[in-house]
A and B are shown apart, each in its own frame.
Chain A
């Protein structure tokens, strides 16, 4: 239960950073934290205390294996989501760099070309 709470708290910290911070880099860090919180949550879904790796070796009993191995699917999902997160992060940082070139600042409150 406690790891799940930890993932939730991480998600909330990330959302707080996105909503309340003014510095673009800190907002980007907030996005990264929410992504990691979800990755942690996915890994926890497949976790099993004292579980064995989900690889079926020779001479292993299928029933015993199924009752003791961790769930490999969330791990596959997490790897995919990390790769997507990498793409998102690269584009976000590139945008922040270009914005810095245009405005000479990272303060969000000084970028007011657009109105809601």
Chain B
């Protein structure tokens, strides 16, 4: 089974370079090859579910000498998130990207981004993680600027400058850790840190990592790029950025490094909870006043990632479980909502909620799925957002953080407020005169919407099946760091 691990990186990487060549043979190749590769990735990551954690040694070199790929519970959870949203986004791109020129370059960058993210969640080597992080980031900078209008270029430039500083800090941290411990392998490093304890240099490196990966995850003091960059990108890319990228190269890296490598303590816990609360509050307050459909979704992403960070900060088994469940759920409903925004923009030609209204009459499918997404994210039972938020609140109460639990409940109401406003102004209400002639989005755009809406409903109801298969193993990885070290280095 471990033989398919390198394929998870190699398939999108190969597709990224084949697509711009094969488009000269036949104009439809990019669509076909792009969708086939994301489908293959989805099938392969589903095959990994419920199996024993496995490792693959690149070139047969054993760690700590060589680079290794590890698929444990946490990586498999992230792989499933990445490949399912990527599949929906590529399916959606077939009709949506027709209005842009050069679809082959779009698919090529898309595949590079997927390869980078798969690499980040699979690799067991710090420097390798940095390289994959840069592959995913550079592809995403280029994709944000894909429309090459003034607004997109400006957003991309801002994102890129901040992203470069974050990557530089990550590399600085990797350098310091190598200088102190003489290893780049994460499991080996974890063993050394466990044996020798934290020194000031390692603490400094962990602060650099928190800043670098925190910026990629859109945590609040480092969030300024996110509300510009996510709306500026084409809709399927917004869905990938908000739904997957901030989790795979931000939140996953934070969880892996702080839980498995450095080990959690009281200080880190407090910092995580403070970051999480700050992101939740600031993101939600800024989202309330937005009239741009996609900008509202972007601010709400900051707020929802705060929930995940808070759950990780609480650090109890229930808190971590809630955080990972919310991560999975957020990928489905935010991916769905951004794809809906694309379908609406495709149909009406605007993103301004002030000019919309009554879209459910002209576009019943988009309107319904968009309502499902909004209800899920604001935590209405039985949709999935309700269950993960409930778990996080219960975890906060059990850990004795009553004030935090109260803030989370209050913010859920605030989330409900701005999503109700979104639904009232865009989906329900009166259809403006200018939009009388709108038509439903094409079928290929409708299929991913329906798929994700079904996910929103079923993930909540299928929780008893999901927990032993997917969420339980992922939680165990974070709570029992020793297992990861033994898996990679051998007992």
Task: Indicate the size class of the contact surface on chain B.
Answer: 20 to 34
A contact patch SS: helix
- Residues of B with C-beta under 8 A to A24: 157
- Residues of B with C-beta under 8 A to A80: 127, 131
The contact of B153 among A11, A34, A98, by CB within 8 Å, is: A98
CB-nearest residue of chain B to A99: B153
Q: Mark B129-168, 1 if CB is under 8 A from A, else 0.
A: 0010010001001100100111101111110110011001
Contact A38 B168 (CB under 8 A): yes
CB-nearest residue of chain B to A113: B151
Also in contact, A114 and B155, with CB within 8 A (given A27-B161, A45-B179, A98-B148):
yes
A24 to chain B, nearest CB (A): 7
CB-nearest residue of chain B to A111: B154
- Residues of A with C-beta under 8 A to B172: 11, 38, 41
Query: How many contacting A-B pairs (Cβ < 8 A)?
Result: 84
CB-nearest residue of chain A to B170: A38
Also in contact, A81 and B154, with CB within 8 A (given A27-B161, A95-B160, A114-B228):
no
Also in contact, A88 and B154, with CB within 8 A (given A74-B178, A95-B145):
no
- Residues of B with C-beta under 8 A to A11: 168, 172
- CA separation between A11 and B165, bound complex, in Å? 10
B184 to chain A, nearest CB (A): 8
A47 to chain B, nearest CB (A): 11
- CA separation between A103 and B149, bound complex, in Å? 11
**B224 interface residue per 8 A CB criterion:** yes
B58 to chain A, nearest CB (A): 14
CB-nearest residue of chain B to A90: B138
Q: Mark A26-39, 1 if CB is under 8 A from B, else 0.
A: 01000100110010
**B175 interface residue per 8 A CB criterion:** yes
Contact A15 B134 (CB under 8 A): no
CB-nearest residue of chain A to B144: A95
Q: Mark A93-116, 1 if CB is under 8 A from B, else 0.
A: 001101100110000000101101
- Name the residue among A88, A92, A114 with the largest chain B CB count within 10 angstroms: A114
B contact patch SS: helix
CB-nearest residue of chain B to A96: B157
- Residues of A with C-beta under 8 A to B175: 38, 41-42, 45, 74, 77
Interface members, chain A 68-99 (any B CB < 8 Å):
73-74, 77, 80-81, 84, 87-88, 91-92, 95-96, 98-99
- Residues of A with C-beta under 8 A to B160: 88, 91-92, 95
Contact A91 B155 (CB under 8 A): no
A53 to chain B, nearest CB (A): 20
Also in contact, A91 and B142, with CB within 8 A (given A45-B175, A113-B151, A113-B154):
yes
**B171 interface residue per 8 A CB criterion:** yes
- Residues of A with C-beta under 8 A to B228: 114, 116
A105 to chain B, nearest CB (A): 12
Contact A84 B178 (CB under 8 A): no
B48 to chain A, nearest CB (A): 28
B123 to chain A, nearest CB (A): 14
- CA separation between A116 and B155, bound complex, in Å? 10
- CA separation between A91 and B143, bound complex, in Å? 11
Contact B142 A31 (CB under 8 A): no
- Residues of A with C-beta under 8 A to B224: 116
- Residues of A with C-beta under 8 A to B157: 24, 92, 95-96, 99
CB-nearest residue of chain B to A102: B150
Contact A31 B145 (CB under 8 A): no
A100 to chain B, nearest CB (A): 10
- Residues of B with C-beta under 8 A to A74: 175, 178
The contact of B178 among A45, A91, A92, A98, by CB within 8 Å, is: A45
- Residues of B with C-beta under 8 A to A87: 134, 138
Also in contact, A114 and B151, with CB within 8 A (given A41-B172, A81-B171, A84-B134):
yes
Interface members, chain B 280-329 (any A CB < 8 Å):
none
Q: Mark B448-486, 1 if CB is under 8 A from A, else 0.
A: 000000000000000000000000000000000000000
Contact A84 B161 (CB under 8 A): no
Contact B150 A88 (CB under 8 A): no
A95 to chain B, nearest CB (A): 5
- CA separation between A95 and B156, bound complex, in Å? 8
The 9 nearest A-B residue pairs measured at CB: A102-B150, A45-B179, A114-B228, A113-B151, A34-B168, A84-B134, A31-B164, A95-B157, A99-B153
B residues in contact (CB < 8 Å) with A: 127, 131, 134, 138, 141-142, 145, 148-151, 153-158, 160-161, 164-165, 168, 171-172, 174-175, 178-179, 184, 224, 227-228
A residues in contact (CB < 8 Å) with B: 11, 15, 18, 24, 27, 31, 34-35, 38, 41-42, 45, 73-74, 77, 80-81, 84, 87-88, 91-92, 95-96, 98-99, 102-103, 111, 113-114, 116
